[in-house]
């Protein structure tokens, strides 16, 4: 059972990480929306499964983090079809939830220290992005330097989660 849960989570995380980063680099809004829709769906699935997995294992804080991550990803998905400019409110709410989730997942000592550091750094960058938008800046999901430079840290964190899950199976 644990290996099938891990396999589902790995697939969702891998889809999310790869297609999310690809979507951030694609200039065509329609292709970007499709990539981000698949990315978000995979991450919601993976985060929901991981929330259940870690809750059952007694890691309630990490489980709550993955639950919040799933909610944040769902909020981000809700704005995807509106295009980059139309998605700013959903993007701000989603990145606020990402930052919160990444803190809850990264502070407990469940994952290896490098994975936790990447998660914390990503949380800080997404929190800054969120605050800038709530302060009134019309910050697109593809803006540089933030949030664009935060995505690779998030993907590196996701790769760390995948690595952890794969090591459990071995």
Compute the Cα dihedral for 15, 84, 148, 74 and give only its sign. Answer: negative
pLDDT score of 3: 84
Name the residue among 142, 130, 134 with its Cα closest to residue 36: 142
Q: What is the pLDDT of residue 84?
A: 84
pLDDT at res. 170: 59
Q: Identify the pLDDT of residue 169.
A: 67
What is the C-alpha to C-alpha distance for residues 46 and 58, in angstroms, rounded to an integer? 18
Residues of the chain by 3-state class (helix, strand, coil), percent to 5: 80, 0, 20
pLDDT at 25: 87
Q: Residues 50-76, buried b or exposed e (16+ Cβ, 10 A)? A: bbebbeeeebeebbbbbbbbbbbbbbb
How many domains does the chain divide into? Answer: 1
Instruction: Pick the closest to residue 26 from 141, 138, 129 (CA basis).
Output: 141
Taking every pair of Cα atoms in the chain, the longest distance, rounded to a whole number of angstroms, is 48
CA distance 130 to 23: 20
- Read off the pTM: 0.95
Retrieve residue 53's tokens.
Answer: 């997995």
Q: Which residues of the chain have pLDDT under 70?
A: 1-2, 169-170
Q: In the predicted model, what is the mean pLDDT of the chain?
A: 95
- Residue (of 113, 80, 99, 82) closest to 146 by Cα position: 99
Parent domain of 50: 2-169
* DSSP state letter for 108: S
């Amino acid at each position: 059972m644990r290996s099938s849960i891990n396999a589902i989570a790995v697939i969702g995380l891998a889809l999310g990480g790869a297609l999310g980063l690809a979507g951030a680099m694609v200039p065509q809004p329609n292709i970007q929306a499709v990539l981000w829709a698949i990315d978000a769906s995979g991450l919601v699935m993976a985060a929901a499964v991981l929330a259940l997995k870690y809750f059952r294992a007694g890691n309630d804080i990490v489980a709550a983090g993955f639950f919040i991550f799933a909610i944040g990803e769902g909020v981000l998905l809700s704005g995807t079809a509106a295009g980059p400019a139309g998605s700013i409110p959903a993007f701000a709410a989603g990145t606020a939830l990402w930052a919160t989730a990444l803190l809850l997942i990264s502070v407990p000592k469940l994952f290896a220290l490098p994975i936790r550091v990447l998660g914390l750094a990503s949380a800080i960058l997404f929190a800054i992005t969120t605050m800038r938008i709530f302060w009134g800046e019309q910050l697109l999901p593809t803006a540089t330097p933030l949030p664009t430079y935060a995505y690779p840290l998030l993907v590196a964190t996701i790769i760390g989660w995948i690595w952890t899950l794969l090591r459990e199976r071995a």
